[in-house]
Amino acid sequence: MEPDRVADAAALAARIPDGALLALAPDYAGAPMAVVRELVRRGARDLRLCGVPQLGLPADILIGAGCVAVIETAAIGLGELGIAPCFERARRAGRITVVDSTCPAIHSALQAAEKGVPFLPLRGVLGSDLVAARPDWKVIDNPFPPHDPILLVPAIRPDVALLHAPVADRDGNVWIGVRRELMLMAHAARTTLVSVERIVEGSLLADPLRAPGTIPGLYVTAYAQVRGGAAPTALWGEAADLGALETYARAAESERGFEAWLEAWLAA
Q: Per-residue pLDDT tens for 117-141?
A: 999 999 989 999 999 999 999 999 9
CATH superfamily label, 4-102+157-267 = Glutaconate Coenzyme A-transferase (3.40.1080.10)
Q: Where does the pLDDT of residue 204 fall: very low under 50, low under 70, confident under 90, or very high at 90 and above?
A: very high
Structure confidence at residue 237 (pLDDT) = 78
Structure confidence at residue 186 (pLDDT) = 98
Contacts of 37 (CB under 8 A, 6+ apart): 9, 265, 266
Alpha-carbon distance 137 to 119, whole Å?
Answer: 9
Query: Are 137 and 123 within 8 A, CB to CB?
Result: no
Q: Where does the pLDDT of residue 1 fall: very low under 50, low under 70, confident under 90, or very high at 90 and above?
A: confident
User: By percentage, how much of the chain surpasses pLDDT 90?
Assistant: 96
pLDDT tens for each residue of 68-78: 999 999 999 99
Alpha-carbon distance 132 to 249, whole Å?
Answer: 34
Kindly provide the b/e burial profile for residues 133-146, where b requires at least 16 CB atoms within 10 angstroms of the residue's own CB: ebeebeeeeeeeee
Alpha-carbon distance 158 to 50, whole Å?
Answer: 8
Query: Are 195 and 229 within 8 A, CB to CB?
Result: yes
What is the residue extent of each domain of the chain? 4-102+157-267, 119-154
Kind plus residue range of the DSSP H or E element containing 250: helix 242-251
Q: Where does the pLDDT of residue 238 fall: very low under 50, low under 70, confident under 90, or very high at 90 and above?
A: confident
Q: Where does the pLDDT of residue 10 fall: very low under 50, low under 70, confident under 90, or very high at 90 and above?
A: very high
Structure confidence at residue 124 (pLDDT) = 87
Q: Where does the pLDDT of residue 62 fall: very low under 50, low under 70, confident under 90, or very high at 90 and above?
A: very high
Alpha-carbon distance 255 to 27, whole Å?
Answer: 22
**What's the Cα-to-Cα distance from 95 to each of 36, 56, 87, 249, rounded to whole Å?**
20, 18, 9, 20
Structure confidence at residue 268 (pLDDT) = 86
Computed over every residue of the chain, the mean pLDDT equals 96
Alpha-carbon distance 195 to 5, whole Å?
Answer: 10
Structure confidence at residue 58 (pLDDT) = 98
